[in-house]
Structure 1
Amino acid sequence: MTTYIPALTLPSSIFNSAAASIAFPIALGTAVGYSTRHTKRQYLSWKQPPLRPPPWVFGPAWTLLYGTMGYAAYRAVYLGTSPLNLPYTISTAKHGATLYTIQLGLNLAWMPLFFGLRRPIEATVDCAALLGINAYLAYLWGSRVDELAGWLLVPYVAWLGFATYLSAGTGYLNDWDLSDRSVEKKDI
C-alpha cells in the first residue's frame, strides 16, 4: 500500500467537488492531447498491431475515461474521508488520493513520451505502470472505500490493458524506432 503524501496529492478542493473532479482530468487530458494534436499523420505512418482503432476514437474514448475516473476519485475521496467513517477507511481513501494523483501524472506523460519524444519503450513502461496502479486502485477503493468507485475504474483499467498492447505492439512492429516517417501518398 502507498502512503498518503500531501505534497504529491491533488488538493482536497478538487476531490470535494464532483464537477471539479470530473473536469480536472478532462481539462488536463485535453490540453495534452491538443499539444500533441499533429500526431495523426505520424500515427498512420507507423506499422500498427491488429485491432488498432482509427485516430478519431481516442479523443472521445479518453474524454469519457477521464470523466469516469474523475467521478470515481470524487466518490472515493469525498465519501471515504467523511468524519463518519472509521479511521482505516479515511486513511485508505487518502492513500488512494495519492495513488490517483500519481497515476494521473503518468497518464498525462504517455502522449508526450510516445509521440513527442518518440520513446516507445518508456511510453510502454509508463502504460504498464498505469495498468498496475489503476488495477490496484480499483481494488483498493472498491473493496475498502466505495464499491461504485472501484467499478467506475474498471473501463479505464480495461482500456489501459488495450493501450499497453497498442503501445508495445507499435513499438515492436517498428523495431522500437518511431522516428518521423512520411506517409506514402496514394494516387488519386
Structure 2
Amino acid sequence: MNRYLKILIFVATCLGVGFISSYATQSGVHTWFPTLEKPSFNPPNWVFAPVWSFLYVLMGVGAGRVWDRIDFERENVKKALLFFWVQLALNALWSVLFFAMKNPLLALIEIILLLLLIYETYLQFKKIDKIAGLLFIPYLAWVGFATILNAALWWLNR
C-alpha cells in the first residue's frame, strides 16, 4: 500500500471519529452548554468545528506517515500507533464526558490524561518521522488550551 493511501485512511479515520463524537457534543452544546458561566477567553462556538477538522487532518497525516515506516521500524511504529489509537479514543471520550454526561470535572481529569498521551504520541512519532511529530504540535497546543478552558468552566460552574 502506498504512503498516500495510508495517509488517506488515517485522515478519514480521524475525521470519522470527530464526526461520531460530534453527536455527543450536539446533545449538550445547544441545551446545557449555553447555560454555563464561561471565562472571558472562551472562543465562540463556530471556532471549534473548523479547528478540530484541521487538527484531525494533521493527526491523520502524521499517523499515515508513521504507518508508512512499518517495514523499516516495525516495533517503534507499532508502539507509536498504539499511543495514537489510545489518545484518539480519549479524544472521543472527552465529548461524551463533558457534553453528554455534563460532567466538567470528570472531563477535566480525562483531558489531562489525554494531554499526556498526545505528548507521548508526539514523542513517539518524532522518533520515527520528524514531520509526523511536528504535525502533532498544533493538536498539543489546542488540547492544552482546551484543558485550561475545561478547568475554568468547571471552576466557574461547580
TM-score normalised per structure 2: 0.91
Partner SS state of residue 36, structure 1: helix
Partner SS state of residue 159, structure 1: helix
Cα RMSD of the aligned pairs, angstroms, is: 1.8
Residue 151 in 1 paired to residue 134 in 2?
yes
Q: Which residue of 2 aligns with 1:37?
A: 26
Tell me how far 1:49 sits from its aligned partner.
1.9
Structure 1: runs of 5+ lacking an equivalent: 1-11, 176-188
Structure 2: runs of 5+ lacking an equivalent: none
Tell me how far 1:35 sits from its aligned partner.
4.1
Q: Which residue of 1 aligns with 2:109?
A: 125
Residue 77 in 1 paired to residue 67 in 2?
yes
Residue 169 in 1 paired to residue 152 in 2?
yes
Tell me how far 1:34 sits from its aligned partner.
3.1
> For this pair of structures, how many residues does the alignment match?
155
Kept in 1, the 8 Å contact 2:94–2:110? The answer is yes
What is the alpha-carbon distance in structure 2 between the residues aligned to residue 44 and residue 165 of structure 1?
19
Q: Which residue of 2 aligns with 1:102?
A: 86
Kept in 2, the 8 Å contact 1:131–1:157? The answer is yes
Percent identity between matched residues is: 30
Q: Which residue of 2 aligns with 1:186?
A: none
Tell me how far 1:120 sits from its aligned partner.
1.2
What is the alpha-carbon distance in structure 1 between the residues aligned to residue 74 and residue 103 of structure 2?
39
TM-score normalised per structure 1: 0.77
Kept in 1, the 8 Å contact 2:94–2:111? The answer is yes
Q: Which residue of 2 aligns with 1:116?
A: 100
Task: Please tell me the residue identity of whatever aligns with 2:49.
Answer: G
Structure holding more helix per residue = 2
Q: Deviations over 1:115-170 (max 9, x none)?
A: 1111111111111111111112112211x200000000000000010010111110
Kept in 1, the 8 Å contact 2:6–2:65? The answer is no
Task: Please tell me the residue identity of whatever aligns with 2:52.
Answer: W
Residue 53 in 1 paired to residue 43 in 2?
yes
Kept in 2, the 8 Å contact 1:114–1:123? The answer is yes
What is the alpha-carbon distance in structure 1 between the residues aligned to residue 92 and residue 10 of structure 2?
16
